[in-house]
Amino acid sequence: MKTFQKVIVVVGLATLGVLLWRIDAKAVANLLLQVRWGFLLILPQEIVAHIFNAIGWRLAFSGPRARSFPLWELIRLRVAGDAVNYLTPSATIAGEIARATMLNDSEGVEVKASSVLVAKVTQAIAQIFFGLGGTILFAARLPWLTGKTTALYSAFGGFALVLVIAAGIEACLPAPAHAPADRDVSWTDFSSMRRWLRYHYRRHPDRFISSTVFFLLGYLWGTFEAFWICWFLGLRVSVSTALVIEVLSITIDGLLFMVPAKVGTQEGGKTAIFAALGLPPQAGFAFGVVRHLRELAWAAGGIALCSAHARRQARAGSPAATGA
């Protein structure tokens, strides 16, 4: 672990200690005890989000190519890639490269790399829509915007309409006759990525849009998890409040991506979010602990999948083992 990462971890742990001291650790413990058997439901429910995301990834392939990669394989690699992203401060890039590396060899590198690239873009688009929707709901709660919700919703609707029109125009333009060459696959060359995205979207606009929809469903499932965790903690929040909690959580996680395993940021972020929404800060801290436990459990499973894949590749004598 590099010095910078060690400092971040120490700061995160110190933040946890200060929060527990300020908000009453006993109250947090009592809230966590209320969850009890709820952990048995909270931990496995994440598979639903992984299924949605895996379907979104599958739609990032062209139809014939997608048949080369079973859905179960994509689900497994979504879990593995998310674990890599969770444990490394790489702005989610390391996990994407790991996914492309661990795909089976039934298709060439350009097919595998381009699918991960397209899936990353459709997931980003889904996150933008999800984030904007939640932000508007949060903004509507602010006292100085009371009575202006119609304008907020209209602005969001107008933005979505502009994107739909732009997407429709782009889909109607002629598609390139051939896919970009293998040598054009690059994670660092923006023009290369743009060529691949243009090729895939113009050739398969229906799959591109469907991929975005399934990634959006994956984000929306996080709202269900937030609602459920609050319910087990004894908080009866509305669906819109759960949505705002999830949107703000994703925003904070994105800003603090450099913190490995979200040490300190998970609990601290949730405490701040709950306080901003007028909910008990102790419940926010407990919420962060519950979600942290769920994330750590899935990250451990993902790392185990990475290790198992590396061992299989090593036994087969494949050079891909090093990449995995």
* Burial class (CB within 10 angstroms; exposed 0-12, middle 13-18, buried 19+) of 196: buried
Which residue segment(s) compose the domain that 200 sits in?
3-323
Q: Tell me the whole-structure pTM to 2 decimals.
A: 0.83
List, for residues 237-286, the tens digit of each pLDDT value: 999 899 999 999 988 887 777 777 677 778 888 988 998 898 999 999 99
Q: How far apart are CA 267 and CA 147, in angstroms?
A: 33
List, for residues 193-248, the tens digit of each pLDDT value: 677 777 778 888 889 999 999 999 999 999 999 999 999 999 999 998 999 999 99
**Cα 119–Cα 128–Cα 217 angle in degrees, nearest 5:** 60
The helix (run of H) or strand (run of E) holding residue 178 is none
Between 50 and 165, where is the model more confident?
Answer: 50
Tokens coding 137: 């709901």
Residue pair 134/248 in contact by the 8 Å Cβ criterion: yes
Number of domain units in the chain: 1
Write the single-letter amino acid at 273: I
List, for residues 77-108, the tens digit of each pLDDT value: 999 999 888 887 655 677 888 888 899 888 87
